[in-house]
Structure 1
Amino acid sequence: MDRLLSMRAFQQVVDDGGFAAAARTLDMSPAVMTRLITDLEQHLGARLLQRTTRKLSLTEAGQSYLQRVRHILNDVDQAEASARQQTDELAGLLRIHTQPVMAVHIIAPLVAEFRRRYPKVVLDITVDSPLVPPIEDYDLTILGAGRLYDANVVARPVIVSEGLLCASPRYLRSAGTPRQPNDLKNHALLRLSQAGIRQREWQLINPEEGDREVAVEVKPVMMANHSDTLLRATLDGTGISAQPLDLVANYLRDGQLRRVLAPWITGRFTLYAALPSRKYVPARARVFMEFLIEQTRLKAVEAERTWPSRDEDKAGDSAA
């Protein structure tokens, strides 16, 4: 027996003054309504209603039971309303988990604008790099392709990013701009290192030539297992590094970095927004995810528009 449904049926019968009217209110058949009340009385071991062909009235037990039922159902309705509000309202705490480099270069720059649009949403951002992100513990987890996560969670692509070769204007003024992949051998290269892996080549891809690949031997002047360290060194003019577009879009747009060897890329990466469940996603999580997708794609487009043409690159080298 669905006790809560039987309680609602009993309350409705009393309020509407009859089984037929209550059945219409609750969108049930009169037979189902009658069975619910009968089952409830059998469960309680007490008659709740006196039924005659002309009149329906409460027994003493029914009067006492109805008083308690009204309080119980009111509490249940309030609890349900509160839970729905947490899901539907654009307010409350939004718990986000992400890696350090994404927190600094993707999430943090968006917070001010997101807060302007949704001032009642409070962001609680946890920055960490666990082997397996604890997706089930957060409303939203921002992670890159290749990270390990439970295949049962829903992961929505935010943006497909490309790895670009970047350098600061200061470095390019002093060292010149590479024109062909093999020119990299004569430049100071900065490389991301991975535990136990020593890669001696960069695999460059040319999207304009059907993703033609070229392997270039790399003898870096600096290696680091921390993306921000490489980015900082690149910004300071140490050399050329490979960086995901979505991480360096702002620097490309404002001129702190310049892309080199366009259209060659070092690979493609997908940024995901992972949710612990497909159901009951809070509205604040949905709007943040849409906002993240909107802003990252917009910044990528803006950065691409500001990239100098190859002719402009040559002119810049001549001037230097």
Structure 2
Amino acid sequence: MDRLLSMRAFQQVVDDGGFAAAARTLDMSPAVMTRLITDLEQHLGSRLLQRTTRKLSLTEAGQSYLQRVRHILNDVDQAEASARQQTDELAGLLRIHTQPVMAVHIIAPLVAEFRRRYPKVVLDLTVDSPLVPPIEDFDLTILGAGPLYDANVVARPVIVSEGLLCASPRYLRSAGTPQQPEDLKNHASLRLSQPGIRQREWQLINPEEGDRKVAVEIKPALMANHSDTLLRATLDGTGISAQPLDLVANYLRDGQLRRVLAPWITGRFTLYAALPSRKYVPARARVFMEFLIEQTRLKAAEAGRTWPSAGKSSARSDIA
């Protein structure tokens, strides 16, 4: 027995003064309505309604039960309204999880403008780098993945990015600008330390030549497992590093960094906004995703680059 439905049926019968009228109100057949009340009385072990051919009235037990039922159903309705408001209203707490480099260079610069547009939304940002992102624990998880990523999660591609070789103007003035990939062996290279990656070699891709690949031998001047450390060292003129374009778009735009060896890239990856479920997505999560996509692509355009489409992502993007 659906006890809550039976309680609603009982209350409606009393309010409408009959089974047929109550059935029309709740959009069910009179037979179903009668069965719900009968099942409820059997469950309680007490008669709630006196039925005659002309009159329907409450028993003493029915009067007492109705008072309780009205309070219970009112509390249920208020709880449901509150839950729907949390989903529909552009207000409340938005819990976001992301990696440190994305928090600093992508999320943090957007907070002021997002708060200006949606002042009632409070961002709760958790920053760390777990091997498996705890997507189910947050409203939104911002993560990056390579082209072979097959997310078994509900994820919306934000932008497709490329790894560019970058250096500061100060470094290029002192060390010169490489003209071809082989010139990198004569430059200070700053490498991200990753398991299974050869630290003394860069794999470069030329998109203008059908993604032709070359392996270039280098002499690392700095290796680190922390992207921000390499970016800081690059900005300070230590050497040449590979950086995702969406992370360094601002620095390229304002001249703090310059791209070298265009059109060669070091790889591609997609920035995703992942959700724990495609159902009941809070409005605040939706607007933040749209804002993130809008602002990230706008900054890319300002940096002088047309971004490729993220529509071919293998992650499921069917967010309702």
- TM above 0.5, yes or no, is yes
Higher alpha-carbon deviation: 273-282 or 205-214: 273-282
CA drift of 1:278 comes to: 2.1
* Alpha-carbon distance, 1:176 to partner: 2.0
TM-score (norm 1): 0.91
With over 3 angstroms needed to count, the CA separation of the structure-2 counterparts of 1:132 and 1:148, relative to structure 1, is farther
Task: Tell me the alpha carbon deviations over residues 87-146 of structure 1, each in whole angstroms, 9 at most, x when there is no partner.
Answer: 111111111111111110011001001111110011111111112222221111111115
| 8 Å contact kept, 1:133–1:149 | no
- Which string of whole-angstrom CA distances, capped at 9 and with x for unpartnered residues, describes residues 1-55 of structure 1? 1000000001011111111111111111111111111111111111111112221
Range with greater deviation from structure 2 (222-231 or 186-195): 186-195
**Contact 1:165 1:243 (8 Å CA) reproduced:** yes
Q: Which residue is 1:207 aligned to? A: 207
* Alpha-carbon separation, structure 2, partners of 1:28 and 1:94: 39
Q: Which moved more, 1:203-212 or 1:182-191?
A: 182-191
CA contact (8 A) 1:132 1:147 kept: no
State the percentage of identical aligned residues: 93
Q: CA 1:150–1:283 in structure 2 vs 1: closer, same or farther (change >3 Å)?
A: farther
Separation in structure 2 between the aligned mates of residue 167 and residue 317 of structure 1, nearest angstrom: 35
Change (3 A) 1:208 1:317: farther
Q: Which residue of structure 2 aligns with residue 138 of structure 1?
A: 138
How far residue 261 of structure 1 moved from its aligned partner, in angstroms, is 0.9
The verdict on how the C-alpha distance between 1:200 and 1:126 changes in structure 2, with shifts beyond 3 A counting, is same
Q: Is residue 157–residue 317 contact of structure 2 (8 Å, CA) maintained in 1?
A: no
Contact preservation (8 Å) 2:201, 2:215: yes
Per the TM alignment, residue 200 of structure 1 is displaced from its structure 2 partner at its CA by: 2.3
**Equivalent residues of 1:167, 1:234 under 8 A apart:** yes
Cα deviation for residue 185 of structure 1 reads 1.7
Cα distance between partner residues in 2 of 1:169 and 1:312 = 36
Residues 145/196 of structure 1: CA separation in 2 closer, same or farther (3 Å cut): closer
Cα distance, 1:309–1:78 mapped onto 2, change above 3 Å: closer
Q: Deviations over 1:192-213 (max 9, x none)?
A: 1125754321111111111111
Change over 3 Å in CA distance of 1:310–1:44 after alignment to 2: closer
Supply the distance in 2 between the matched residues of 1:179 and 1:318 (Cα, whole angstroms). Answer: 44
Structure 1 contact 177–317 (Cα < 8 Å) conserved: no
Name structure 2 gaps, 5 residues minimum. Answer: none
Q: Distance in 2 between matches of 1:249 and 1:19?
A: 68
- SS of the residue corresponding to residue 95 of structure 1 reads strand
Contact 1:6 1:40 in 2 (8 A): yes
Secondary structure of 2:316's match? helix
* More helix by percentage: 1
Distance 1:96 1:296 in 2: 17
Query: What secondary structure is seen at the aligned counterpart in 1 of 2:281?
Result: coil
The Cα of 1:148 is off from its aligned counterpart by 12
Which stretch shows the higher mean deviation, 192-201 or 241-250?
A: 192-201
1:310 shift after superposition: 27
- Alpha-carbon RMSD across the aligned residues, in angstroms, is 8.1
Query: Partners of 2:176 and 2:98 in 1: how far apart?
Result: 37
Contact kept? 1:191, 1:223, Cα under 8 Å? yes
Greater Cα offset, 186-195 or 55-64: 186-195
